[in-house]
Amino acid sequence: MPVGTLGAVKGVDVGRLKETGAEMVLANTYHLALRPGDETVAALGGLHSFMGWPGPILTDSGGFQVFSLADRAEVSEQGVRFRSHIDGAEVELTPERSIAIQENLRSDLAMVFDHVVELPNAPDAVAEATWRSVRWAERCRRAATRDDQMLLAIVQGGLDVPLRRQCAKELVAMDFAGYAVGGLSVGEPPAEMYRVLEATVPELPADRPRYLMGVGRPQDLLEAIGRGIDLFDCVMPTRNGRNALAFTDQGPIRLRNAIHRHDRRPLEENCPCPACQHSRGYLRHLFQVREMLGPVLTSIHNLTYYQRLLAEAREAIVQDRFSAFRTEKLRRWRDPDSSAGE
């Protein structure tokens, strides 16, 4: 899912976004509640009408902001009090308020409010946040009133495998429409994330969406798919695109590097995106002169690349060759020269 925090994927209009192959987008509960306000979005017809996006929309709960705005947040059993990053005003977010905001936004999938902590962290702090997340999930389930909005629970537990499994079992017993693995990619090494996924995903129902939140690099997507994950979101395609880094099957291309100055090749020969109608030399020029088209085109390329990668992964699964597909992609990213001439 491309990330449209404030109701827009940065620099990419809805028409271009659909052309990348995106089918679902993510928007942010906390940020939209501050600006323009969930009541305003509701008055304008809900997020689909507000954004002009015809496909499914998932809204996160504001739980990640408990982590990312920790220096502005005070957590209690009732919920979280934030100092707005905009004007310093006090903002209270509880499980009930998070659900009410998401129902006003009229997203198709809504996340329970959870308590995310930095990793690594003290075992007691991780356990406290995990069980608070379970209690908050139950409060969210009771608060939900819309029968046209899927509610997804979030498994927490840090890097503690037994705690992750216990949390998953408690949430599965509550019978949510889908399940996410949260609280990863917040400072731990990738190998630790994979270890946690291997232990956690088998505890989640295979007939419901299994979502890894906030991940990630192309290699992380394939490693997670191999461990049973279905759904992802991450700002990496657009954030890196705005900073002159393009993802390709031969690894990342840093467009500001002088080596690309006279390079007539596109980012990728087989890519249908508008960026690949131009040369690497031209794209580098756009960044060098700070022309806004550079970040826009490279963001679109990266979004297209991620959608193509996952489409290829789905096809490989259907053909029962995902393991070989993953191995080959990882080999190319690790040793880009090995694919020269192919």
SS3 at position 93: strand
102-160 pLDDT tens trace: 999 999 999 999 999 988 899 999 999 999 999 999 999 999 999 999 999 999 999 99
- Residues 251-295 pLDDT 10s: 999 999 999 999 999 999 999 999 999 999 999 999 999 999 999
Query: In the prediction, which pLDDT does 341 show?
Result: 29
Q: Is the pLDDT of residue 342 over 80?
A: no
The one catalytic residue among 38, 114, 220, 233: 233
13 in catalytic set: no
Element (H, E) at 20: none
pLDDT in the model for residue 67: 85
List domains and CATH numbers for the chain: 14-234 (3.20.20.105), 239-335 (no CATH)
pLDDT for res 121: 92
Instruction: Specify whether 220 is catalytic.
Output: no
What pLDDT does 54 receive? 96
Residue of 60, 114, 220, 249 with catalytic role: 60
- Between the two ends of the chain, the Cα-to-Cα distance in Å is 30
For 63-112, write each residue's pLDDT tens digit. 989 888 889 999 999 999 989 888 998 999 999 999 999 999 999 999 99
Tokens of 66: 């408990």
Distance between CA atoms of residues 174 and 153, nearest Å: 9
